[in-house]
């Protein structure tokens, strides 16, 4: 350390990673110091009391000082912006802070309470993640924007939370003691994100007495709620609603279609859910995997889905009306020209797909008027023939690979031209749990992936010739290598600008027992 006389000129003290450092000297002469960084000083046990008098201190970083036991009672700096105590697992008391502070980071400390903020406030973020000894909601006021209480033990959110008028994010994840929120939660007009994921005993969302004008993300994953917040129309700016593993929720609001900004909803593993209501046109992403009681879908939904995943919703497989609704929605998206992926239980390629084959490959005729091509529809029926060992972890992603082989005359020679027209991730990591035959439908607009690519060159070169499409499912990790996915059927269709897939097509084809003849004009 420099001579005490020179400390008056010191602006920054950086001793990060000095794992054998046990103490630091008196800093009373360092009157102009702005930053003290002691992160990772694993054997540091205490700080000199002189730190509390450093009135120009702006940043104090004590992250991962695992043996630190005590801190000064107070920090008197008028300029303190950030104070970090992450993973100081032996610190039980936070110093009193005399000035407004932007960020107070107390993650994974042993604190049981916060000091009073009598003449100061936390202006931006207070992070109390992992403070498992914290049972009382912090007594704070002012313009705090982000409050995180994940893995804490708080038992109640007080009604006074309404006075945190600048609060933007409230995160209270993985709390088993929290049962409810106060009615005043709807008074938080700046709140954009509310996350109660993993609050397994949280049973009832309070009545929304007035519109929550800013709430866009509501996470209720793994809670015990039985119904949605009501009236749901008061959440008019909601864009994401996460309800996966809410096993007690039996129904959704019939007014869901009024959520005109809703873009994504996750209902996976909602075991009691039986019906999906009409959704708003804005909805692009629907995940409802493993909803074992789900048997009805509203055919009134006018959504242009980008993703609709219904894996292992096995009650849907035997329901003609549900299958009809799924195919109508898939056809509508294809007509509109938007990229989309549909996954649902079933053993047949959709009726409206013209080129169907048994097995993992099929032959189609390439169009001569390729310049009018709107997009390509790919379909497969697949099954998991071999369950993987349970000891293996789930892979993060799987993908379908589709190859196209083209030749002017036949496929008997080695000079076939091969183009991989699709090779991308399309599932969410639990495909190994699929328990029966499933259908995957994918539509890619011509302009988004193929324009300017080798597929366009192939269309030009082999216009009017036949092409063979081959499908397989692959995935990363050891688990993927143990899985034996079999493509049992496949289908390919080319959709042109002047074509439409109509409900009349479904109605007439639904009655046929065998594969129908193509009813749209060939190109």
**Which pLDDT tens digit goes with each residue over 320-355?**
777 777 877 777 776 666 788 899 999 999 888 889
Q: 117: closest CA among 107, 108, 126?
A: 126
Tell me, yes or no, whether 442 lies in a domain.
Answer: yes
Q: Return the H-helix or E-strand segment holding 296.
A: strand 296-297
Tell me, yes or no, whether 492 lies in a domain.
Answer: yes
Confidence check: pLDDT of 509 > 50 = no
Place of tokens 């008056």: 8
For the whole prediction, is pTM greater than 0.85? Answer: yes
Mean pLDDT of 366-386: 82
Q: E-assigned strands of 15-138?
A: 35-37, 59-61, 74-75, 82-84, 96-97, 101-105, 122-127
Mean pLDDT of 250-272: 95
Percent of the chain past pLDDT 90, that is, above it, reads 57
Res 393: pLDDT: 53
| 96-105, 108-117, 227-236, 316-325, range with the lowest pLDDT | 316-325
Tell me, yes or no, whether 192 lies in a domain.
Answer: no
Tell me, yes or no, whether 276 lies in a domain.
Answer: no
Q: 53: closest CA among 21, 7, 16?
A: 7
At 508, is the pLDDT very low, low, confident or very high (cuts 50, 70, 90)? very low
Total domain count, the chain = 2
Place of tokens 């639904």: 510
| 185-199, 302-316, 452-466, range with the lowest pLDDT | 452-466
Residue 318 burial (10 A CB sphere; 0-12, 13-18, 19+): exposed
Name the residue range of residue 463's domain: 355-509
Q: 121: closest CA among 137, 97, 105?
A: 97
- 449/426 Cα distance (integer angstroms): 15
Residues present in the chain in total:
523
Instruction: List the structure tokens of 474.
Output: 């692959």
Contacts of 122 (CB under 8 A, 6+ apart): 100, 101, 102, 103, 104, 140, 142, 144
Tell me, yes or no, whether 161 lies in a domain.
Answer: no
Mean pLDDT of 382-391: 72
| Single residue among 41, 75, 99 that ends a domain in this structure | 99
Percent of the chain past pLDDT 70, that is, above it, reads 82
Tell me, yes or no, whether 279 lies in a domain.
Answer: no
Q: Return mean pLDDT, the chain.
A: 85
Res 365: pLDDT: 84
Residue 215 burial (10 A CB sphere; 0-12, 13-18, 19+): buried
- 299/283 Cα distance (integer angstroms): 14
pLDDT in tens, 106-124: 999 999 999 887 667 888 9
Res 518: pLDDT: 40
Q: How far apart are the first and last CA of the chain?
A: 82
Q: 7: closest CA among 64, 46, 48, 44?
A: 48
Res 485: pLDDT: 81
Q: 440: closest CA among 398, 478, 400?
A: 400
Res 421: pLDDT: 65
| 226-240, 348-362, 377-391, 471-485, range with the lowest pLDDT | 471-485
Tell me, yes or no, whether 120 lies in a domain.
Answer: no
| Single residue among 99, 131, 165 that ends a domain in this structure | 99
Tell me, yes or no, whether 374 lies in a domain.
Answer: yes
| Single residue among 99, 132, 167 that ends a domain in this structure | 99
Here the contacts of 351-354 (C-beta below 8 Å, separation 24 or greater) are 351/327, 351/505, 351/506, 351/509, 351/510, 351/516, 352/327, 352/493, 352/501, 352/505, 352/506, 352/509, 353/377, 353/379, 353/491, 353/492, 353/493, 354/491, 354/493, 354/518, 354/520, 354/522
């Amino acid at each position: 350390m420099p001579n005490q006389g020179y400390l008056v000129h010191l602006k920054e003290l950086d001793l990060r990673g000095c794992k054998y450092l046990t103490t630091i000297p008196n800093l009373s002469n360092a009157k102009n110091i702005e930053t003290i960084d002691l992160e990772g000083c694993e054997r540091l046990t205490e700080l000199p009391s002189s730190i509390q008098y450093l009135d120009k201190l702006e940043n104090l970083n004590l992250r991962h000082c695992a043996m630190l036991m005590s801190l000064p009672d107070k920090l008197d700096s008028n300029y303190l912006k950030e104070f970090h105590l992450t993973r100081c697992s032996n610190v039980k008391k936070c110093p009193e802070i005399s000035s407004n502070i932007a960020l107070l980071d107390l993650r994974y400390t042993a604190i049981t309470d916060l000091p009073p903020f009598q003449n100061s406030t936390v202006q931006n973020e207070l992070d109390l993640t992992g403070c498992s000894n914290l049972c009382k909601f912090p007594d704070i006021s002012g313009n705090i924007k982000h409050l995180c209480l994940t893995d804490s033990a708080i038992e109640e959110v007080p009604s006074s939370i309404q006075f945190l008028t600048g609060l933007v994010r409230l995160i209270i994840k993985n709390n088993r003691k929290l049962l409810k929120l106060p009615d005043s939660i709807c008074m938080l007009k700046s709140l954009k994100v509310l996350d109660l994921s993993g609050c397994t005993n949280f049973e009832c969302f309070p009545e929304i007495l007035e519109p929550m004008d800013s709430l866009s993300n509501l996470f209720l994953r793994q809670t015990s709620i039985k119904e949605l917040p009501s009236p749901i129309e008061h959440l008019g700016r909601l864009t994401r609603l996460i309800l996966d593993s809410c096993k007690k929720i039996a129904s959704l609001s019939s007014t869901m279609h009024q959520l005109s900004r809703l873009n994504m909803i996750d209902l996976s593993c909602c075991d009691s859910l039986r019906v999906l209501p009409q959704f708003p046109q804005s909805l692009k992403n629907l995940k409802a995997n493993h909803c074992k009681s789900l048997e009805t879908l509203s055919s009134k939904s006018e959504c242009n889905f980008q993703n609709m995943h219904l894996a292992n919703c096995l009650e849907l497989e035997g329901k003609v009306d549900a299958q009809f609704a799924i195919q109508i929605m898939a056809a509508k998206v294809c007509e509109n020209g938007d990229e989309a992926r549909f996954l649902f239980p079933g053993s047949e390629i959709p009726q409206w797909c013209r080129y169907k084959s048994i097995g993992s490959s099929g032959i189609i005729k390439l169009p001569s008027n390729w310049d009018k091509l709107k997009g390509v529809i790919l379909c497969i029926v697949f099954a998991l023939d071999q369950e993987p060992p349970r000891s293996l972890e789930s892979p993060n992603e799987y993908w379908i690979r589709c190859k196209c082989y083209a030749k002017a005359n036949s496929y008997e020679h080695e000079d076939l031209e091969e183009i991989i027209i699709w090779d991308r991730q399309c599932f969410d990591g639990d495909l190994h749990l699929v328990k029966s035959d499933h259908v995957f439908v994918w539509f890619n607009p011509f302009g988004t992936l193929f324009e300017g690519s080798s597929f366009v060159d192939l269309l030009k070169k082999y216009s009017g010739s036949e092409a063979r499409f081959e499908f397989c499912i692959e995935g990363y990790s050891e688990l993927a290598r143990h899985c034996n996915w079999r493509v049992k059927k496949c289908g390919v269709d080319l959709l042109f600008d002047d074509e439409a897939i109509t409900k009349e097509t479904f109605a007439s084809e639904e009655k046929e027992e065998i594969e129908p003849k193509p009813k749209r004009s060939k190109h």
